[in-house]
Structure 1
Amino acid sequence: MNNLIIAKFGGSAIGSDGESIPQIIERIKDLKIDSKVITVFSAPLTIHDGKRRSLTDVILEQGKNAENGIKPSLDIVKTCYQKIIQLVNEENKENCQNTIDVHLEKSQKALEDALQSKEFADETRSRALAFSGEILMSHVMNHILRSNNIKTDAVEFDDWPIITDNNIESTNFLKSESNEKIGKIEKLVESNQVVTIGGFIGKTVDNVTTTYERGGSDRTAADLGILFHKKYETSIDFEKDSSVVSADPKIVKDGLREVFQLSYNEARLAGMFGMKILDPIAIKEIVEHGVDMPIKITNIKNPEKITVIKRQLDEQKGHPIKIVTGKENCAIFRIETNSIQKLLTSLDKDKRYSEFIILSPFTKDGVELSRILFLDGDYVKRNEKYFLGFDSLATITYNRGVITLIGDEMWRVQQVASRTSAKIGESGLNILNMDAQEETSRILIVVEDAEENIRKAIVAVHEEISKINFI
């Protein structure tokens, strides 16, 4: 069976106005030596008013302008691509420019539709994002790779293999329907060294353009792995500006440890709780479809530095607590225990939503109450009516933050719960809730989400971990 690497390059890997694309070219040249390669691209970044911004945010801003009756403009987007196209040679430049013009016309049309309807939502929003960002970037990269003598082709949107349900703005992957549409990309993989495709974007069986949530290019890479894993010896490679370390380096400056291996479970939990390793839903989809394939997080600047994510890990010799992380903007939903199952079923079947953790229940006035920690307070606010429909007496508490420790074998660490909670207390933070479960090897510490609380707690706990003995 031939090798296939699905390599995802996010906005930070592409760099502002494509400044890091030469590095991407060299990585792709290395990857294709022993393998077929499908490259998944996010929307690029640009510099505007001295700030680094994703083109996704630029388009969302223009869509909001359209809703408010202000004529939308793609000038920022056009300027970005005019800089990137300088990496295309003369032989391919005219075709590349035509591709840029055609796609941006489609994006402009979507924005004009929003201006006319005063609504930037659903497919209008999806089309504006798709044809200015991920899909266009994949075509531009196709011409750049050709300019570097790499045999490559891009997936056209008419032949899109990622088929989704009808939740337009936060869509869900449909495997069987996608399997019926992979014929074209299969032929492209067979006949080329490299195939380029945009991340984040899907389409329904009725050809309606859809998008995943932010970070959805990770899911595109995972979905392609699910579709191809029986046809090739498939692996996924997320190219980032660093491999995984023991805390967010923007928060913890000293004493960071490299993390060489993570289980699927550890990687998913870390992603859910704030570590920008990969979209946790990408892992969830791989697990749900019974697929077992290795995932690498590669430091694109130093490709020898990698973190491997596997279903079954090799024997572990380092510290069992691999990561300390935290999440701001959480919410806690309290509901009578006899009503919770209907809500959980609906979240799974209707919303296809899983970014929450069930905390330990408690009893008050003879009534048992269950608690759900939602990791996105904004999602709960948008859906308050939906949640309260399951129990009119349920309550929601916002402005909560959570700190967690990641490690499947955390049970080997002595006094971990008492030592970490004491350290948070010494930092002047009030612990509102602590949830420790041996079965899930999980410790959650809830504090008020105010000022620098979460960051202070992460720094304090990370410093303490290295001092705690383990079996």
Structure 2
Amino acid sequence: MTKLIVAKFGGSAIGQNGETIPKIIQRISDLKTDSKVIAVFSAPLTIYNEKKRSLTDIILEQGKNAENGIKPSLDIVKSTYQKILDMVDEDNKENCKKTIDFHLKKAQKALDQAFDSKEFVNEVRSNALAFSGEILMSHVMTHILRSNDIRTEAVKFDDWPIITDHNIEFTNFLRTESKEKMGKIAELVDNNQVVTIGGFIGKTIDGITTTYERGGSDRTAADLGILFHKKYETSIDFEKDSAVVSADPKIVDSELREVIQLSYNEARLAGMFGMKILDPIAIKEIVENGVDMPIIITNMKNPEKITTIKRSLQEQKGHPIKIVTGKKNCAIFRIETNSIQRLLTSLEKDKHYSEFIILSPFTKDGIEFSRILFLDGEYVKRNEKYLLAFDSLATITYNRGVITLIGDEMWRVQQVASRTSAKIGESGLNILNMDAQEETSRIIIVVEDSHDNITKAIKAVHQEISKINFV
């Protein structure tokens, strides 16, 4: 069976004004030597007000300006692509320039609509983001790759294979409908070495532009893998500035361990709890669709450094506790246990939302209560009315932070719960809640989200892990 690699290049991989595109060209050249390649691109980065920013953030800011009656501008976006255009050779430059102008006209039209209506929402928002960012970048990369003698073609939005539901700004992948629309991209993959496509963007069956949540390009890569895995020997490759290590290097700067392998479960938990490995919903979609394909996290600067993610690992290597991570801005929702199932069913079926963890229940005055740890406090604030409708006496506690240890075989580590909790206490932090479950092989420690509590806790626990014995 022919190999297919779905390679995703995020904004940091592209770099500000496309400065690391030469490295992307080299990586794609290497990947295509023995495999077909679908390259998924995010929006590039730029420098704005002396800060590194994604073009996605720039467009969101311009949309907010439009809502406030300030004329939106694409000047910074145009200048970014003008710099990237310098990487296109003379044979392809004129067509690439026409492509940029064509897509930015569509983005400007959407921003003008927002200015007229004073609303930057739904399809207007999606079109502004799509045609200034991911979709446009995929077309520009096609011209750049052609300039480097790589046979490539971009997926046009008319032929879009990622079909979603009608949740315009936080959309959900529809596999059956997408399979019916994948004829054109399948043809492109057959006839080219590389096919480029924008991440983050979807399309309803009736042609409305939709977007995933931020980080949704990971989901696009996963969805393409789901669509192609029966036709090709498919793997997914996330190209980043490092492979996976045992904690966020921006928080922990010493004694970091390379993580060679993760299970789907470990990677999803790590992503949910703050590690920027990949969007945890991407793995959720792979699992829910019954697909088993390897995911590789590659250090673009040193491609020999990789982390392999598989559904299940035949042989675990290294320390059973692979990652220590944490999440700010969480919320705990307490509800009577006899009401929780209706809420959980609604979150899954109606909201398609899964970024929460069920904590151990407790009993008070003879009544059993369940607790849901939501990993996004802002989501809870936006949906308070919806959540409280399931139990008017339910309570919500905000400003909670969570530290967690990741490892499917954490049960092999002696005294892990007592040692880690003691270490957090020694750091001067008050543990508000601790949830340890052997069945799920996880330890969740809740503290107040204030000052640098989460950072201090992660550093303390990570330092302790290497000292704890394991079987």
TM-superposed CA distance for 1:364, in Å, is 1.2
Query: TM-score, normalised to structure 2's length?
Result: 1.00
Q: Which residue of 2 aligns with 1:375?
A: 375
Structure 2 unaligned segments of length 5 or more: list them: none
Q: Which residue of 2 aligns with 1:398?
A: 398
Q: Which residue of 2 aligns with 1:301?
A: 301
The letter of the residue matching 2:332 is: I
The secondary structure found in structure 1 opposite 2:431 is: coil
Deviation track 1:220-256 (CA, whole Å, cap 9, x = no partner) reads 0000000000000000000000000000000000000
Deviation track 1:87-124 (CA, whole Å, cap 9, x = no partner) reads 00011000000000010000000001001111101111
Q: Which residue of 2 aligns with 1:411?
A: 411
- Aligned pairs, number: 471
Alignment of 1:292 with 2:295, yes or no, is no
State how 1:229-378 maps to structure 2 within 5 Å: 229-378=229-378
Deviation track 1:355-376 (CA, whole Å, cap 9, x = no partner) reads 0000001111221111000000
Cα distance between partner residues in 1 of 2:314 and 2:22: 35
TM-superposed CA distance for 1:49, in Å, is 1.4
The secondary structure found in structure 2 opposite 1:351 is: coil
The letter of the residue matching 2:396 is: I
Cα distance between partner residues in 2 of 1:201 and 1:385: 29
Deviation track 1:134-174 (CA, whole Å, cap 9, x = no partner) reads 00000000000000000000000000000000000000000
Cα distance between partner residues in 2 of 1:257 and 1:102: 47
The percent of aligned pairs where both chains have the same amino acid is: 83
TM-superposed CA distance for 1:48, in Å, is 1.1
Cα distance between partner residues in 2 of 1:6 and 1:317: 26
Cα distance between partner residues in 2 of 1:21 and 1:293: 27
State how 1:50-449 maps to structure 2 within 5 Å: 50-449=50-449
Structure 1 unaligned segments of length 5 or more: list them: none
Deviating beyond 3 angstroms after TM superposition, the runs of 4 or more aligned structure 1 residues are none
Larger mean CA deviation between 313-322 and 243-252 belongs to 313-322
Cα distance between partner residues in 1 of 2:366 and 2:274: 36
Cα distance between partner residues in 2 of 1:213 and 1:316: 33
Cα distance between partner residues in 2 of 1:128 and 1:380: 27
TM-superposed CA distance for 1:449, in Å, is 0.4
Cα distance between partner residues in 1 of 2:437 and 2:312: 21
TM-superposed CA distance for 1:317, in Å, is 3.1
Deviation track 1:39-73 (CA, whole Å, cap 9, x = no partner) reads 00000000111100000000000000000000000
The letter of the residue matching 1:246 is: S
Cα distance between partner residues in 2 of 1:304 and 1:209: 38
The letter of the residue matching 1:36 is: K
The secondary structure found in structure 2 opposite 1:13 is: helix
The letter of the residue matching 2:192 is: N
Alignment of 1:31 with 2:31, yes or no, is yes
The letter of the residue matching 1:469 is: N
Cα distance between partner residues in 2 of 1:48 and 1:279: 26
TM-superposed CA distance for 1:314, in Å, is 3.3
Cα distance between partner residues in 2 of 1:225 and 1:446: 36
Cα distance between partner residues in 2 of 1:118 and 1:173: 29
Cα distance between partner residues in 1 of 2:128 and 2:261: 38
The letter of the residue matching 1:412 is: R
TM-superposed CA distance for 1:445, in Å, is 0.0
The secondary structure found in structure 2 opposite 1:303 is: coil
The secondary structure found in structure 1 opposite 2:340 is: helix
The letter of the residue matching 1:262 is: L
Cα distance between partner residues in 2 of 1:47 and 1:118: 27
The letter of the residue matching 2:368 is: E
> What RMSD, in angstroms, separates the aligned Cα atoms of the two structures?
0.4
Cα distance between partner residues in 2 of 1:182 and 1:90: 33
Q: Which residue of 1 aligns with 2:470?
A: 470
Cα distance between partner residues in 2 of 1:148 and 1:386: 53
The letter of the residue matching 2:454 is: I
TM-superposed CA distance for 1:193, in Å, is 0.1
Cα distance between partner residues in 2 of 1:219 and 1:309: 15
TM-superposed CA distance for 1:444, in Å, is 0.1
Cα distance between partner residues in 1 of 2:401 and 2:314: 33
The letter of the residue matching 2:187 is: K
The secondary structure found in structure 2 opposite 1:329 is: strand
Cα distance between partner residues in 1 of 2:106 and 2:364: 57
The letter of the residue matching 1:452 is: D
TM-superposed CA distance for 1:390, in Å, is 0.6
Cα distance between partner residues in 2 of 1:418 and 1:317: 24
Cα distance between partner residues in 2 of 1:155 and 1:283: 24
The secondary structure found in structure 2 opposite 1:87 is: coil
The letter of the residue matching 1:389 is: A
TM-superposed CA distance for 1:80, in Å, is 0.4
Query: TM-score, normalised to structure 1's length?
Result: 1.00
